[in-house]
Chains A and B, each alone.
Chain A
Amino acid sequence: MSARLMQGNEAIAEGALKAGVRFFGGYPITPSTEIAESLAKMLPKVGGTFVQMEDEIASMGVILGASLAGKKVLTASSGPGISLKQELIGYAAAAEIPAVIVNVQRVGPSTGQPTAPSQGDVMQARWGTHGDHSIIVLSPWSVKEAFEIAVKAVNYAERFRTPVILLTDEIVGHLRENVELPTDIEVYPRRKPKISRAEGYQPFTPDQDLVPNVANFGEGYRIHVTGLIHDDTGFPSGSPKITREQIKRMHDKISRAEDEIIEVHQEFMDDAEFAVISFGGTARTAYEAVLNARKRGIKVGFVRLITIFPFADKIIRQISKNLRGILVAELNFGQIVYEVERAAQCPVKLCAKYDMTIFEPEEIEKSIDELILEVK
């Protein structure tokens, strides 16, 4: 396949399509709209369906209905729209419905700065719905990776029957790069019931990996799906034991696969005394800053979170043992830094920015220098 000039948002649409997404429901919002526009064009070409809904709540509802009817589904939005989607992201977690939600972050809160990049929705991605729930959050730093992460997000949604947040930002969403997209893609198929109705099939009985093989609608299983706490039959249960077990299982199904899900990109860590931790579009600048600092003889490593949640506790703890200090660079007032502080066993410093503009490498370099002075 020859290289193509492509935008991050388009790469997400392409990746989702390659991973088998056949249904998109959405509502326009900058800077995510290109994902909807690409899929409006591409989906009907492959027999898929694009529908523009009346708002982002409806967009979530329509993809969850489509997912239950057997399609792999995606929606995309940004800050204000993601806030509306939260209600039914919780439904997807509770009813274990595979769905991918792309958040192309812009400056908030509220309408904020619609065209300006931000990474201010990190904690929203983790906790943005009511109640205890687990979730997978992935963040790419390049156009090519946006494609790959889109494939991964769809696969994880299907494998774990969970909502997956593809947390990108305006930087990567609107980045144009010449990319050669991979052709040999592994696709996780929709899970299927292993026994028949007659054999006593229950839609929410967990398989060995703790994930239930929920039948699609229209396949003769006559299942019941609800956002109420339910037992393996799918029907509501008022039992404390069932409540505890179900909430725990929905966490465990993801946490037990953490080592597989968590991906962290590390460079120059062999001799590192310091490290810069970053993710998404900011990591591009952080990388440059690390290169510049190393040219000046500073032993600083580069750590990029590809999987934001589940958080890379173990990895951060491990690497922090050999470090004198960590700098967390993020395009917000400080969010992931608290996760890093929790895990790290060395001093942690925040390099935050929240003024519409992206980092300059010099700003991060300067923070590295300050960190070195502070830990002396």
Chain B
Amino acid sequence: MRSYENFFRQNRLPHLWCPGCGNGIVMKAIVQAIEKNPDFNQDNTVIVSGIGCSSRASGYMDFDTLHTAHGRAIPFATGVKLANPALNVIVITGDGDCTAIGGNHFIHGCRRNVDLTVVLFNNNIYGMTGGQASPMTPLGKKATTAPYGSVDRPFDACKLAEAAGATYVARSTAFHVQHLIKTIEDGLNNRGFSFIEALVQCPTAYGRRNKMGDPAKMMAWMRDNAVMKNSWDKLPDDKKIGDKFPIGLFFKAESESYDESYKKVQEIAGGAAK
């Protein structure tokens, strides 16, 4: 048994995701990143998720785990962290969970800069409810609620996170496994609000409807279209076309986290030792 498998609740596997679903790849990358961090262990780390296919990950991970309500993972996680700053808190969320119903919590989470690591499993669709358009469904792509192709302009969640004040912002994909692990690892090390968008294939609710082929083809699409940030920045605008998109670290800043700042409030008020 691989060592990272200790971080799974073995009696709950196999997971309920569809054949070829990318969620399993990202969930494994998260535990492998945790494994590499000596400050994180199974008894001082809490996994908080919302509602969606992706948010079911918390149930498989052998930590204290909290499967909250749709869109609300970040507020719950904020409460866990502020109540006990010694805990490491990781949030697992979906594109709908994070940027639609949880959009307000997301931007305020970034702004507040509580020390959380948020991993968004972006499958460009509402997977759990059967393939409705999300705020991250690309223009022209089909969904059950966008049968003629979506005309609803999508968010770039990374730009949103950066603008809102997150102190670590990066993107990777289910194809770029080693890069994904490293990206999450660096996010865990950042003392503040870290945001990682992980592209995942959803063959069932997204790929099939958009004729993207089998799961492996969807991953090959990630391989062929993802451009590392350094190269992306050098690309002339007329080459940033089609399906091409950047991955890598987009933003990092040193800024005191809310939990550290609030300790100062307690000091000023005279309650720090209590």
Q: Which A residues are closer than 8 A to B by beta carbons?
A: 22-23, 25, 41, 43-49, 51, 53-55, 57-71, 73, 87-88, 91, 217-228, 235-236
Interface residues of B in 33-74 (CB under 8 A from A): 42-44, 46, 48, 58-59, 62-69, 72, 74
State how many angstroms separate the Cβ of B265 from the closest Cβ of chain A. 5
B75-83, B176-184, B228-236, B241-249 - interface stretch: B75-83
User: Please, how many angstroms separate the alpha-carbon atoms of A44 and B266 in the complex?
Assistant: 5
**Known contacts A223-B65, A224-B58, A226-B59; A69/B42 CB under 8 A:** no
Q: Are B270 and A45 in contact (CB under 8 A)?
A: yes
The size bracket of the interface on B is 35 or more
CB distance from A61 to the nearest CB of B (A): 3
Please tell me if the beta carbons of B59 and A218 are within 8 angstroms of each other in the complex.
no
Question: Would A49 and B67 be within 8 Å (CB), given that A58-B108, A62-B75, A88-B72 are in contact?
Answer: no
Decide if B64 touches A221 in the complex (CB within 8 Å): yes
Q: Specify which chain B residues have a CB less than 8 angstroms from the CB of A235 in the assembled complex.
A: 12, 59
Which of B46, B67, B75, B272 neighbours the largest number of chain A CB atoms within 10 Å of its CB? B75
Assess A45 versus B67: contact at CB under 8 Å? Given A55-B104, A61-B75, A69-B79: no
Task: Select from chain A the residue with minimum beta-carbon distance to B70.
Answer: A87
Contact for B271 among A23, A44, A58, A60, CB less than 8 A: A44
A218 with B46: CB separation less than 8 A: yes
Please tell me if the beta carbons of B67 and A222 are within 8 angstroms of each other in the complex: no
- How far apart are the CA atoms of A219 and B42 in the complex, in Å? 10
Give the CA-CA distance A185 to B75 in the complex, in Å.
Answer: 32
Contacts of A47 in B (CB 8 A): 266, 271-274
Complex Cα distance A88/B79, Å?
14
Residues of chain A within 8 A (CB-CB) of B65 are 222-225
Q: Which of B46, B69, B75, B265 sits near A217, CB closer than 8 Å?
A: B46
Q: How far is the CB of B91 from chain A (nearest CB, A)?
A: 11
Within 8 A of A (CB), among B221-274: 262, 265-266, 268-274
> Within 8 Å of chain A (Cβ to Cβ): is B216?
no
Q: How long is the Cα–Cα vector from A70 to B83 in the complex, in angstroms?
A: 7
| Cβ of B189 under 8 Å from chain A | no
A-B contact pairs, 15 of them (CB 8 A): A45-B271, A47-B266, A47-B274, A65-B80, A69-B81, A71-B83, A88-B72, A217-B84, A218-B64, A219-B43, A220-B43, A222-B64, A226-B59, A226-B67, A227-B69
Q: How close is A375's CB to chain B, nearest CB, in angstroms?
A: 49
Contact B44 A218 (CB under 8 A): yes
> With the chains together, A69 CA to B245 CA distance in Å?
39
With beta carbons under 8 angstroms apart, the residue of B58, B77, B274 that contacts A46 is: B274
Indicate if the CB atoms of B108 and A222 lie closer than 8 Å. no
* B58 and A58 contacting across the interface, CB-CB below 8 Å: no
B105 interface contact, C-beta 8 A: yes
Question: In the docked arrangement, what's the CA distance between A229 and B272, Å?
Answer: 39
Q: B12, B74, B75, B79: which contacts A23 (Cβ < 8 A)? A: B79
B80 and A69 contacting across the interface, CB-CB below 8 Å: yes
